[in-house]
Amino acid sequence: MTRKKVVIGMSGGVDSSVAAIVLQQQGYDVIGLFMRNWDSMADGEFTGAPTTEQGICPQEVDYNDAKKVCDKLNIPLYRKDFVKEYWDYVFTYFLDELKKGRTPNPDIMCNKYIKFDMFVKEAKKLGTDYIATGHYARIKDGKLLKAVDKNKDQTYFLSQVSKKQLENVLFPIGDMIKSDVRKIALDYDLVTAKKKDSTGICFIGERNFTNFLKNYLPNQPGDIVNIETKEIIGKHIGLMNYTIGQRRGLNIGGTDERMFVVGKDLKKNVLYICIGEDNDYLISDSCVVNEINFLGDEKITKCSAKFRYRQEDVAVELEWLDDEVIVKYQGVKAVTPGQACVFYKDEECLGGGIIKEVRKKGQKLWYL
């Protein structure tokens, strides 16, 4: 009987490495595909392309690690560049959102346009039956479910992936917890077993965010203003470097009070802060969400939602409009335009959209 063929996205990390092992144990004919989505020299003329202590850029380290894992597991590994597509569909979106004063989530768009679109098309050229990734998520009866390991659940980042895109997709480690994933990698003596989890922008990696951004969006310093007293209390280094609810990195001297970013005025180039994490200026009770990708069977009016990754689920009511939804909730802190609002019904991820505006008592908050 011919074995089913699956192409797995090999990132050079421990999760995709163990996902490949699980697929082999389940009897699949496994092929690896490494995606190169960022030109490491793109910002080299400004800051120098980032390198490891060995003088190799991290992306090449990841490819080498993926190759070592595939060689050990006797899995062929292919390599494909999606640099142009990533720039056109993910990075340009990222920059455009920052210019608008919003806080985008490029990882979500990377999943939508690259990992579950361009990657799938490339996988089909290899005669695949399925594609697989190392995401912590599950699919059962066509529904996208949270991972068993709630601390690692990544359904938030999959909320813009369509039902069609999720067909014939496997998440081999969705039923596992991270410690068990690490243990399997150690048992197989994989080079990725103790490798640090990747952080930072999807495929761009860990950078000094401020230095990286100024290569593409020139800094425009301006005033930091206390939203309650209207007093100028400091200078910001460019509005795109801050997000709502941010506390660290404000560099406001002469006070021990805990200050939080609460809003931006693009026309005046002002960054507003408030004092205290329970300040009323940080609280909203509804938001308008657009770019809806709904995965449920029917549009329900009550469910729960996350307004950012790792946030606790919040009970919400949904008012469906033509191409938007008004999401109503009891006071929640730091709901941020540009971030994803993701809907859940118990374990099921119902998809979501992008936060367009934030409101209180039915009125758009002027400082957002």
Q: Identify the active-site residue in 57, 70, 110, 341.
A: 110
Distance CA 70, CA 89 (A): 29
% of the chain surpassing 90 pLDDT: 80
Residue 214 domain-assigned (yes or no): no
Q: For 162-190, how does the pLDDT look when each residue is reduced to its tens digit (9 = 90+)?
A: 999 999 999 999 999 999 999 999 999 99
Cβ 172 vs Cβ 27: under 8 Å: no
Distance CA 233, CA 257 (A): 12
Residue 203 domain-assigned (yes or no): yes
Residue 307 domain-assigned (yes or no): yes
Considering the domain architecture, whether residues 60 and 108 belong to the same structural domain is answered as yes
Q: For 277-307, how does the pLDDT look when each residue is reduced to its tens digit (9 = 90+)?
A: 899 999 999 999 999 999 998 889 999 999 9
Distance CA 207, CA 44 (A): 12
Residue 200 domain-assigned (yes or no): yes
Q: Where are the beta strands (DSSP E) in the chain?
A: 5-9, 29-36, 77-81, 130-132, 137-140, 143-146, 169-170, 222-226, 232-236, 259-265, 270-275, 283-294, 302-306, 314-320, 325-333, 340-345, 348-360, 363-364
Tell me the two tokens of residue 18.
């163990």
Q: Position 61: which residue type?
A: V
Q: For 306-317, how does the pLDDT look when each residue is reduced to its tens digit (9 = 90+)?
A: 999 989 999 999
202 annotated active-site: yes
Considering the domain architecture, whether residues 105 and 79 belong to the same structural domain is answered as yes
274 annotated active-site: no
Considering the domain architecture, whether residues 130 and 32 belong to the same structural domain is answered as yes
pLDDT for the residue numbered 297 = 87
> Model pTM?
0.91
Summarize the confidence of residues 257-266 as an average pLDDT. 94
Residue 65 domain-assigned (yes or no): yes
Residue 150: phi and psi, rounded to 5, are -65, -25
Considering the domain architecture, whether residues 287 and 358 belong to the same structural domain is answered as yes
Evaluate if residue 101 carries a pLDDT over 90: yes
pLDDT for the residue numbered 255 = 76
Average of per-residue pLDDT values in the chain: 91
pLDDT for the residue numbered 57 = 64
Q: For the sheet containing 130-132, what is the strand order?
A: 77-81, 29-36, 5-9, 130-132, 169-170
Distance CA 111, CA 144 (A): 14
Distance CA 138, CA 130 (A): 15
Considering the domain architecture, whether residues 145 and 34 belong to the same structural domain is answered as yes
Q: Where are the beta strands (DSSP E) in 162-313?
A: 169-170, 222-226, 232-236, 259-265, 270-275, 283-294, 302-306
Residue 37 domain-assigned (yes or no): yes
Considering the domain architecture, whether residues 67 and 199 belong to the same structural domain is answered as yes
Q: What is the DSSP string of 89-139?
A: IIIHHHHHHHHTT----HHHHHIIIIIIIIHHHHHHHTT-SEEE---SEEE
CATH of the domain at 251: 2.30.30.280
pLDDT band at 47 (very low <50, low <70, confident <90, very high): very low
Considering the domain architecture, whether residues 107 and 41 belong to the same structural domain is answered as yes
Considering the domain architecture, whether residues 141 and 266 belong to the same structural domain is answered as no
SS3 label, residue 175: coil
pLDDT for the residue numbered 1 = 62
Considering the domain architecture, whether residues 122 and 42 belong to the same structural domain is answered as yes
Look at 12 and 56; give whichever has higher pLDDT: 12
CATH of the domain at 328: 2.40.30.10
Considering the domain architecture, whether residues 47 and 172 belong to the same structural domain is answered as yes
Cβ 107 vs Cβ 157: under 8 Å: yes
Evaluate if residue 92 carries a pLDDT over 70: yes
Q: Identify the active-site residue in 57, 70, 202, 349.
A: 202
Calculated CA dihedral for residues 277, 278, 284, 289, nearest 10 degrees: 30
Instruction: Kindly tell me the burial class for residue 108, based on how many C-beta atoms sit within 10 Å of its own C-beta (0-12, 13-18, 19 or more).
Output: buried
Cβ 198 vs Cβ 191: under 8 Å: no
Q: 57 is in which domain, residue-wise?
A: 5-209
Cβ 70 vs Cβ 76: under 8 Å: yes
Domain tally, the chain: 3
Considering the domain architecture, whether residues 263 and 297 belong to the same structural domain is answered as no
CATH of the domain at 84: 3.40.50.620
Considering the domain architecture, whether residues 74 and 179 belong to the same structural domain is answered as yes
- DSSP letter (8 states) at residue 88: I
Residue 29: phi and psi, rounded to 5, are -85, 110
Residue 157 domain-assigned (yes or no): yes
